[in-house]
Structure 1
Amino acid sequence: MSDDQAALPDPAELKSLAASRPDQLRGIAAALAKGRRLPELEPLFAEPPRSVDDPEAELRACVLGELALMGVSWRGRPGPEAYAERLRELGHPLSWRPAARLDLEHRLGVRVRGAGPVKSAGQLRARFPEIPATEGGAAAGRTAREVRDAERAREAAGAFTAGGWAREPEARFFTLPEPLGDDDFGMAFLQGLPLDCLAGEMGPGGALACLTAADDVANELYSASFNGGVDGRPQYGAYARLHAWRGLYALLGLPAGTPFLDAVRYAADCRWLRFMAFTRWFHHDTADVGFAVLDPSRTRVAVLAATDTAG
């Protein structure tokens, strides 16, 4: 990377970018983090941030976020440590994230050759174990009661809305009168819920649900924000990681103050599904995703579906 590519813009340009193209400011931060070693970046953090609204503080917060995502530790380095602590005191949104990359995040930003978006039932079945439909699941789905929570829904869908996906995602939450058996948490259960993404006539491809895990969901949330939608803009690593964690917490129904390692343990006790359906809501064109999670008590369900094709 050349010096020009990793150089800091002047304050006036930073202010303009922060107001009109925050994605470009985040891109500059990503270039700095990837193009410079930490000792070369330390002078950026010589003075503490004055305000979270300061474009220079925003740039430096993004640099720290990119470094954390890359697994670069600034522990024992006074400048970055003090800067990060001051960002926490000021309440900067990027200060809410694990200080070090956790194992649950091992897939974030990692591209596996030949493993692109899942667009067909065959691809889904090839990558994840399918859960057979059960009569018990269908019956349980009809007993579910919806719990409306607009703020939680916004948080769950935040990665897709931030990335500018073509349509508003569907995020819904339900409670059950009694615990649901793991084997009954499948497509028959989901079809018993009043979900827009599964409503209407089903195409020849039908519908299927497969077992997955929290790291798969985190990776999809991260990718949706990092790459941006077809008509959206990429948010880069620091904010994509933030949206992924916010989305996970919302799907799990956990308050923001829950320690991250506790959230990881909680997620491991949940039952996770990735689903696909050939309804008019999905398009099987650019990108479609559908996830559902059953909590450890087996009485609470969250569903998130998104498509990047305008309907």
Structure 2
Amino acid sequence: MDDALSKILAKPLTSRNALKLERLARRRLKHGEVAFVADLGIGLARHHRSATEFDSLFDRLVRLLAVTPGAEPVAQLVRMLAAGRPDDPAFDRYVASMLAACRRPEDLTVVFDGGSGGVAVSDELRACLVHELVIRGIPVAEMPGIAGWATSSHWRDHPLAGLPLAPMAAEREPDLPHYSVDGSSHGLPYWDPEERHPAPRLDTRVPTAVETTTAATAAAMATAVADWADDPEEPEGRVEARTFAFADPLEPDAVPGALVALGLDCLVDLGDLPGPGEETAFGVVAVEPAEVWQVLFAAASTGGAYAPGRYGAYGRLRAWRSLAALAGAPADASAGEVEEYVRGCAWYRFGAATPWFHRVVWDLGVLAVAPDRRRLAVLAATTTD
């Protein structure tokens, strides 16, 4: 180990020493000493893993290697992770997102072959990286050094293995994060809670409906926004997921009236709507499946106001599970079958100025009407900071 590094690691990892170590890592990396950064991370894990400053400093070293051009920083990052954060699926998801965002696919083959040193790489990191690349439009099944692992049966039992290795039709323009050594950012592509709409007609005949919600279906529909309600960091989060069956086909112009008549929690105290031609906060807007997927993906991948997101790979999985359940696809449907169900439905987004919605940023309301127009599925979610 580098003598200077050994001396510094012998000292307690205070906030002041952590700053010194980060500055030292930046200087050495600037001079091409990539392995030094990995050695530092490994040394910190061995000597100071329990220190308060460890996680933050280790993360900065990961970022330094992830954003530095070339294949060698990736190889050193893999080596550092194997020693410093083994068996940490949440961290693997984060690193996979960062690598896919910051590096050329050609630089990432070491993640799949372990490099010349045969470094142990977790299957979780590999699986997440595959799908982080897929949602960025990278043809992983054709990439030398990646295709062999991505198309193998080795990971057939992994939760992500059922997702296709190419973007599906609805996966257009996903909101993806941007990373630098000092932080990250991402957009919030939710619909404007202050949006106004022409008052919908509510006098169209609505067929008789019965609720058909089951616990399993509700949980599946809410997969993309589950953290908004289940994570203790989101005490203000709420989710409503329900299905209904109609005695007769629900005509498109009757959808707003049906929504109001179904007794949804999210529309309690909706109040009287203005007359025709006037504007109101309550609106039901026909949309393409891609717009619904984009919002579900953002909810799952970026999280809520405080709950951490699942990043791109699991964001993709969770968005599709919600979309499939909303569309009425069987739980064991293949990706191709799910796409058929999704294409067959009529999709809508909705919002309202009711006490249920926080109307800050994280408001979501979507509907799916089945091809026979006798089934309606609704998902609403809200949280706030």
Q: Please report the TM-score for the alignment, with normalisation by the length of structure 2.
A: 0.67
Structure 1 counterpart of 2:283:
208
Q: Deviations over 1:238-265 (max 9, x none)?
A: 1111111111001011024434344334
What is the rounded CA distance, in whole Å, between the counterparts of 1:30 and 1:87 in structure 2? 23
CA RMSD of aligned residues (A): 2.9
Q: Does 1:196 align with 2:262?
A: no
| Aligned residues with identical type, % of pairs | 31
Structure 1 counterpart of 2:309:
234
Point out the more displaced range, 194-203 or 175-184.
194-203
Q: Deviations over 1:88-112 (max 9, x none)?
A: 7541111121210123111212799
C-alpha displacement at 1:190, in angstroms? 0.4
Q: Deviations over 1:176-217 (max 9, x none)?
A: 11111122122x110110211112353885522111121111
Higher relative contact order (CA 8 A, sep 6+): 1
* SS of residue in 2 equivalent to 1:100: coil
Q: Does 1:39 align with 2:39?
A: no
Pairwise mapping of residues 68-79 of structure 1 onto structure 2 (< 5 A)?
A: 68-77=134-143, 79=145
What is the rounded CA distance, in whole Å, between the counterparts of 2:188 and 2:331 in structure 1? 36
CA spacing shift, 1:16–1:244, aligned 2, 3 Å: same
Structure 1 counterpart of 2:82:
11
What is the rounded CA distance, in whole Å, between the counterparts of 2:336 and 2:195 in structure 1? 34
What is the rounded CA distance, in whole Å, between the counterparts of 1:227 and 1:134 in structure 2? 36
CA spacing shift, 1:109–1:75, aligned 2, 3 Å: same
Structure 1 counterpart of 2:12:
none
Instruction: Verify the 8 A CA contact 1:88 1:95 in the aligned structure 2.
Output: no
C-alpha displacement at 1:269, in angstroms? 2.7
What is the rounded CA distance, in whole Å, between the counterparts of 2:267 and 2:340 in structure 1? 30
Larger Rg: 2
Structure 1: segments with no counterpart, 5+ residues? 48-53
Residue identity in the other structure for 2:266 = C
User: Aligned to 1:28, which of 64, 79, 95?
Assistant: 95
What is the rounded CA distance, in whole Å, between the counterparts of 1:240 and 1:115 in structure 2? 14
User: Aligned to 2:254, which of 169, 184, 187?
Assistant: 184
What is the rounded CA distance, in whole Å, between the counterparts of 1:308 and 1:246 in structure 2? 21
Q: Does 1:135 align with 2:208?
A: no
What is the rounded CA distance, in whole Å, between the counterparts of 2:148 and 2:297 in structure 1? 27
C-alpha displacement at 1:116, in angstroms? 6.0
Instruction: Verify the 8 A CA contact 1:203 1:279 in the aligned structure 2.
Output: no
Pairwise mapping of residues 1-311 of structure 1 onto structure 2 (< 5 A)?
A: 2-3=64-65, 5=67, 6=74, 7-8=77-78, 9-15=80-86, 17-18=88-89, 22=90, 24-46=91-113, 56-77=122-143, 79-86=145-152, 89-109=155-175, 117-122=191-196, 125=197, 132-137=200-205, 139-140=206-207, 143-162=208-227, 164=231, 166-186=236-256, 188-200=257-269, 202=271, 207-309=282-384
* SS of residue in 2 equivalent to 1:132: coil
Number of aligned residue pairs: give it. Answer: 290
Residue identity in the other structure for 2:248 = E
* SS of residue in 2 equivalent to 1:154: helix
Instruction: Verify the 8 A CA contact 1:160 1:224 in the aligned structure 2.
Output: yes
Structure 2: segments with no counterpart, 5+ residues? 1-62, 68-73, 115-119, 178-185, 274-279
